């Protein structure tokens, strides 16, 4: 029993001695770390393990003298900013000392297992004007090298739209680059990837942006429809092959209509199908084919309204058959737009014929404008403006009451003329009207009772 007790006491003494030795060593190392950095300590990537504050300052300061920031641009275009060119100097203030003081000497053993990599900002100072000069010299700002960013776009191919991938470009935002470079230098970074920062002006919309995908759906909808314009027996088809030329996207990827291009298309329809003021071949009552020019009769497409109507139709995305909007219409859409209901005035013969649906309703002699005083009735095809009973026609020095007033060219029209007892012949040459067609009462009455507004009035002289 005594032997065992002696052995136990000896073990305890050994343990106490070992613990005392360990504590002496631990406290000795702790004393060392009162003035030295932990194992594994790095400041801004510089190894200062086991260094004093002064030694750490010297190490970091020496690295500043050779400091270079590498700028990694797009397309492999790299540049660099040297610390020597921007008056970069070491200016830690108390930050190194504060870091050292934050390390508890007694806790040094934890540094063996946990590396202490510290990032300290603004250990340096620089000349901002020199930095701006260096940035201005970078090749990124050479206009020959700049590629503008471009949003994803659309191409209409084989009756459908394809999304064209965006162009990232390499246009630098100078203010952002300056800020990013300055911050990197103050943080002690040695590499700045411009593509991973906001240094570039980037496209707003890329190929897989929701706005781009939605715009494509709308473009496909608009170009999948068909509009059939009718002009009597003729047709014009507007489908995706035409509509796609009118569609664009704005800066917010909204689908918009290029109304200028739409107007150009409607202009082409007007050139082809408007008949207002055209020279017409006309088969006279006497069986002679004549050319009649001028007048205010004929079809006129309302271009402004038709463009607006067209926009709304396309937005609905449904096939439509329609006539264009007209500001003025004519009787017929055939080659002879006069049709078979019209008033024919042969001013050489001083005679009027009124046909309705191809049937002669009435005819008779008249007196037209006075040629002697340049009041001759203008030639051309006109349209009857309106019908009025018991009107008073007024001029510079006259006021003439009439029973039947049928104006078709400004103040010129057909009416009865109770003050005349003769019609026809060559009266018009020296004693004609102020331009109107003077007709006998019965002739004017019959025409008045059977005619409608818009009816063609054909005025001509025979050669």
> CB count, 10 Å around CB of 408?
26
To which H or E segment does residue 345 belong? strand 342-346
To which H or E segment does residue 321 belong? strand 320-322
411, two tokens: 């103040």
CB burial of 373-387 (b: ≥16 within 10 Å; e: otherwise) equals: eebbbebbbbbbbeb
Q: 18 catalytic, yes or no?
A: no
The bridge status of strand 320-322 relative to strand 227-231 is: parallel
Say which of 375, 415, 434, 459 is annotated catalytic: 415
Q: 415 catalytic, yes or no?
A: yes
Say which of 6, 351, 375, 436 is annotated catalytic: 436
Give helix 303-316 / helix 259-273 axis angle, nearest 10°.
120
Assign 3-class secondary structure to 120-136. CCCCEECCHHHHHHHHH
Residue 196, CA distances (Å) to 176, 200, 203, 266 in order: 12, 9, 15, 50
Q: Please, are residues 172 and 140 in contact by the beta-carbon 8 Å criterion?
A: yes
3-state secondary structure of 325: coil
Active site residues: 415, 436
């Amino acid at each position: 029993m005594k032997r065992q007790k002696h052995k136990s006491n000896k073990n305890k003494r050994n343990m106490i001695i070992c613990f005392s030795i360990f504590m002496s060593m631990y406290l000795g190392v702790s004393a060392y770390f009162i003035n030295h950095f932990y194992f594994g300590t790095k400041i801004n990537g510089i190894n200062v393990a086991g260094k004093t504050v002064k030694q750490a300052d010297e190490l970091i300061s020496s690295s500043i003298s050779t400091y270079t920031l590498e700028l990694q641009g797009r397309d492999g275009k790299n540049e660099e900013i040297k610390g020597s060119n921007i008056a970069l100097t070491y200016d830690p203030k108390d930050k190194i000392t504060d870091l050292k003081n934050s390390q508890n000497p007694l806790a040094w053993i934890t540094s063996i297992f946990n590396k202490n990599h510290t990032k300290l900002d603004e250990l340096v100072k620089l000349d901002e004007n020199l930095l701006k000069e260096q940035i201005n010299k970078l090749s990124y700002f050479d206009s020959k090298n700049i590629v503008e960013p471009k949003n994803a776009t659309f191409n209409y191919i084989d009756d459908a739209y394809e999304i064209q991938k965006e162009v990232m470009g390499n246009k630098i935002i100078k203010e952002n680059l300056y800020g990013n470079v300055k911050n990197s230098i103050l943080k002690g970074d040695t590499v700045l990837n411009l593509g991973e920062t906001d240094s570039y002006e980037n496209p707003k919309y890329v190929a897989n942006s929701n706005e781009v995908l939605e715009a494509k759906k709308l473009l496909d909808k608009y170009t999948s429809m068909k509009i059939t314009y009718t002009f009597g027996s003729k047709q014009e088809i507007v489908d995706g092959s035409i509509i796609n030329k009118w569609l664009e996207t704005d800066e917010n990827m909204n689908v918009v209509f290029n109304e200028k291009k739409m107007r150009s298309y409607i202009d082409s329809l007007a050139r082809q199908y408007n008949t207002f003021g055209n020279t017409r071949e006309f088969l006279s009552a006497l069986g002679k084919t004549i050319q009649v020019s001028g007048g205010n009769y004929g079809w006129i497409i309302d271009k402004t309204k038709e463009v607006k109507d067209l926009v709304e139709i396309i937005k609905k995305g449904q096939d439509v058959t329609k006539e264009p909007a007209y500001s003025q219409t004519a009787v017929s859409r055939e080659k002879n737009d006069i049709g078979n209901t019209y008033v024919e005035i042969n001013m050489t013969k001083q005679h009027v014929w009124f046909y309705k649906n191809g049937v002669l309703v009435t005819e008779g002699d008249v007196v037209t404008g006075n040629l002697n005083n340049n009041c001759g009735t203008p030639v051309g095809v006109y349209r009857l403006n309106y019908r009025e009973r018991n009107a008073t026609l007024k001029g510079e020095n006259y006021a003439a009451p009439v029973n039947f007033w049928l104006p078709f060219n400004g103040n010129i029209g057909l009416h009865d003329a109770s003050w005349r007892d003769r019609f026809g012949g060559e009266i018009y040459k020296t004693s004609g009207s102020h331009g109107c067609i003077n007709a006998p009462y019965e002739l004017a009455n019959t025409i008045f009772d059977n005619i409608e507004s818009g009816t063609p009035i054909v005025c001509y002289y025979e050669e």
